[in-house]
Amino acid sequence: MNQILVIAWREVSRLRKRFGGGASPLAVLALAAAVGFSAFTLRDTLSLGSGLYRVGVSGNVPNIQDSRFAVMEVSPEEGQALLAARAIDVWINGEVVFAREDDKSQYAERALKQYMEKSELRRIAETYPPGAAFPLRVSIHTSSGAAQSGAATPSDEVIIPSLTPPPAPFTQVLVALLYVLPITFISIFFTSSFMDEKMNRRLTILLSTPITPFQIIFGKMLPYATFSFFSIMLIAALTKANIALALAIFAPTTLFIFAIYLMVPLFYRTFKDVTFIAMLVTTLTTAYLVFPAMFTNVNDLAYISPLALAVKMYRGEGFGWREYLFPSVPMTAVFGFAMFAGTRLLNEEFLMGYKPITRKAADAIYLMMAHASPFWSVPLWSLLTIPVVYLTQVVFLAFAANLPVSLILMAILGASALVEEIVKSVGIVVLAQRGVITRWRDLFALSALSALGFLIGEKALLLISVQFVSQAKVSGALFGAGLLLLVPLAAHFLFVSLTSVLTAKAKFPYWLALALSSTAHFIYNWIILRGGQ
Amino acid sequence: MSAFFAVVKKELASVLRDRTIIIALLIQLFIASFSSALLLGMLSLYDADTILQFSGARVKVGIVGVESPLADFLRERGMTVTPFATLEEAQAEFFKNKVNAIFVTPQNPAEIQLYLPKNEAARALLRMVLQEPMKRYENFLRSERGIDVRYADLQGKPATSFEFMYSVLLPMLMFFPAFVAGSMSVDSLTEETENNTLQTLLSTPLSPSVMVSAKMTAAVFLAFAQCAAWLGLLSWNGVEIQNPIWILALAVLIAGSASALAMLGAVWLKDRERSQFIYSLALLAVAALGGALNVSPVMALSRLAIGDAFTSGWDVASYLILFAALYALVWKFAPRLVK
């Protein structure tokens, strides 16, 4: 523990040295916060469609203040001419609005309708007494089986239609995203810290001391993790949320982001690699966090993202343990896996080698597995990478949602078959290529173990998520639900051994063997899904 | 001059060799497909027009009580309206799934009741769809009380997709490469300074200013290639884009400015960590400033793309001035590298 603190302190002083005098890191952070918040407030003013429409006004027209409209005063003749010449999209003459038949003008009219509705409401609210300005009250009731007796059911809420917008999680998702911003920002320094050690070749010295790689990683992470937790608490306090709850919701997310940024310095070869990998990671995690959360309360799959929990929190709605564990367990598991990978990979030879990225990945997998007997490491690998597979498949889901409907299912099935086959076979293939496994017997035995490990992990995940995903047929196919366990085990075994035998014995290139087994897996999935209908 | 091109060529070759540029392309593809998926999802869940367009007649509303104009407003939005004599009858139909929602309109027209299913998703969806008829009914009650709501009869076509395409997706695709170009410039310069290869590079007949310019050229060229590819892909997909040449010119100028901005930081600080950090902060600050001053290349780009009558090449030219100013600063300060 002491050593971890020493490394953590060293990390803080490294940053202090980097940014000059004692106070300037704080100054920079304050600046960052100020800029971040100004950018955030900017989001409100910069709405969708900013500057797209031109409006001409003649006569007595309310003032239009909306970034979507560029307004100009025109005389009635000018207005008509400009509208006909397509120079303006809408012409407002007093209380009458003129538009053309073409799409652009029609879009402008709809946008204007939305704006005018709001501005008229403001006007009415200001000029008339509330009872006359908002005459309608709608009390909302729940139709329940017990309410057969008549209109005596108590109402859930009473709304005034023009003042009560229908519920949508948009704004809450944005607020929830605010929590993630400082974490991704601070992780730049976490990544840089390892790059620094690598550049100055100090890591060798550090590793020759009795400090373990785990202590190094943990020590370097400590200051940044502390910062992240403080920023979570601060944001929670500023937005008047429950601080402890916010911390509980975002702690797994924080660990997850650090896990991913730990991988960046381990794998990079040039600085450009770092930039690109870090960008990819940021985009994917943002997508992973935001996309499901938008559908909070619409689909239970939204709980894949912890932001959905935050949305719930901000609405003052409760959630149970199962809802909490559903996003948190995979994220924490990914963190655990990354820590393990980090401790294995933190050595001079691995860090310094300049190789194609695929070779580097193969080296990494070898280093992670080589310390134990393959009969332990192969099934364990398949078991422990399940959360990663799961997260990847969710990201695919977002990708595929953009395809034509008829292709969505095929694309998801194909992509997930590929990911699963890679995960199950890559360990065996790497070990075989390095001559650890040579015999046919071992190859088959390991394939069986890998299939078993994968299946156990898959089912364990299914156990957590079955309450949520059982309604969705697609996820059923992804995770192989509703089947006897032996059939998927045999199928997994078949596909893994196909890949490993083709690569290890028939000397096929790995991608080709993988393509063959993935195609087989895809066809299997397809048949299962057809049969299930 | 040949030394200049040698550096450009070397930079481009190294990017192609590392293959990591593929990641940048993947990100853009991901952002594009992800955000349109998001929009599609949002529209089909949160946009009454889209919901009704696809399944308007399948939304079945029961009405119990006195005759009310609300029924007409519901029908005009394309929903199926069934009158019932009592709430019990309506609820019986509700449990047979023949009716999705029930309005009860009592003698007092200003106090109506709405019965919705328990399922939260269905509830949210119905609230969304029923909002507009309820608002029209509210306006009807207002006019009975002598309050006139102006501009209530405007129609038009749902504009969300149009606004999203030209004010979000297109600017994102055009300016993301610019953002990458800046980061790449920082990387390629600080890599030389931190690995101490800069001195070797500068011992060739190459001034620091020319060397930095060459690195910027390579980064901007990549941005240009990406933008051109996106424009091609979009128009191939049937998206109508006016003034493509000006749009491309604007994108290149922004990429050049971002790259110059990033280089300024890198020339000053000479290490990647601080330079990238300052560059991202500077980008945010510039964006915030642009927003405050109401000048934004995003708006210029959207207007060029939709063929706005008051936007022309001159709007692009103003960004040439920005780029020239930043580039002049880079040229001036680059010799600091050898000090």
> For residue A463, what pLDDT band results from cuts at 50, 70 and 90?
low
Domains of chain B with CATH codes: 2-41+159-338 (no CATH), 48-144 (3.40.190)
Q: Is the pLDDT at A284 greater than 80, yes or no?
A: no
Residue B216 corresponds to which amino acid? M
pLDDT tens track for B296-323: 888 889 999 998 888 888 889 989 999 9
* Structure confidence at residue A318 as a pLDDT band (50, 70, 90): confident
Give the B window 277-296 contacts with A, CB below 8 Å.
Answer: 277, 280-281, 284-285, 287-288, 291, 296
What is the structure's pLDDT at B251?
95
CB A353 within 8 A of CB A270: no
Contacts of A99 in chain B (CB under 8 A): 156
Q: Is the confidence at residue A369, as pLDDT, over 60?
A: yes
Residue A473: the pLDDT is 47
Which tokens go with A443? 């190859």
**Cβ-Cβ contacts under 8 Å, B144 against chain A:** 135
Q: What is the pLDDT of residues B187-198, one digit of tens each?
A: 889 888 888 888
CB nearest to A38's CB, from B121, B274, B288: B288
Q: Which residues of A touch B19 (CB under 8 A)?
A: 356-357
Choose the weakest-confidence range: A28-37, A98-107, A478-487: A478-487
Residue A108 has pLDDT above 80, yes or no: yes
CB contact under 8 A, B37 and A45: no
* Segment holding A532, helix H or strand E: helix A510-532
Where are the domains positioned within chain A? 53-135, 168-354, 355-533
Instruction: State the nearest Cα–Cα gap between B19 and chain A, in angstroms.
Output: 9
Using an 8 Å CB-CB cutoff, list chain B residues near A147: 91
What pLDDT does residue B262 have? 93
Q: Check pLDDT > 90 for residue A45.
A: no
ipTM over 0.95: no
pLDDT of residue A25: 58
Q: What is the pLDDT of residue B324?
A: 95
pLDDT at residue B290, as a whole number: 74
| Residue % of chain A over a pLDDT of 70 | 82
Nearest by CB to residue B91, choosing from A50, A143, A167, is A143
- A23 has pLDDT over 60: no
pTM (predicted TM-score): 0.76
Instruction: Tell me whether strands A69-73 and A53-58 are parallel, antiparallel or unpaired.
Output: parallel
Region A96-114: mean pLDDT is 90
At A37 the pLDDT is: 61
Residue bearing the bigger pLDDT, B301 or A434: B301
pLDDT tens by residue, A143-199: 765 444 444 567 777 888 877 766 665 667 777 878 888 888 788 788 888 888 877
If you write DSSP's letter for every residue of A152-199 in order, what string do you get? TSPPSEEE-TTT-PPP--HHHHHHHHHHHHHHHHHHHHHHHHHHHHHH
Given a cut of 50, the residues of chain B with pLDDT beneath it are: none
Calculate the average pLDDT of chain A: 79
Interface test with A, best of B18, B107, B296 (most A CBs within 10 A): B18
Residues of chain A contacting B120 with CB distance shorter than 8 Å: 297-298
pLDDT digits (tens, 9 = 90+) for B144-192: 888 888 888 888 888 878 888 888 888 888 988 898 899 989 988 988 8
| DSSP per residue, B183-197 | HHHHHHHHHHHHTT-
- The amino acid that residue A354 corresponds to is Y
Report the distance separating Cα A532 and Cα A103, nearest Å.
Answer: 45
First to last CA, chain A: 56
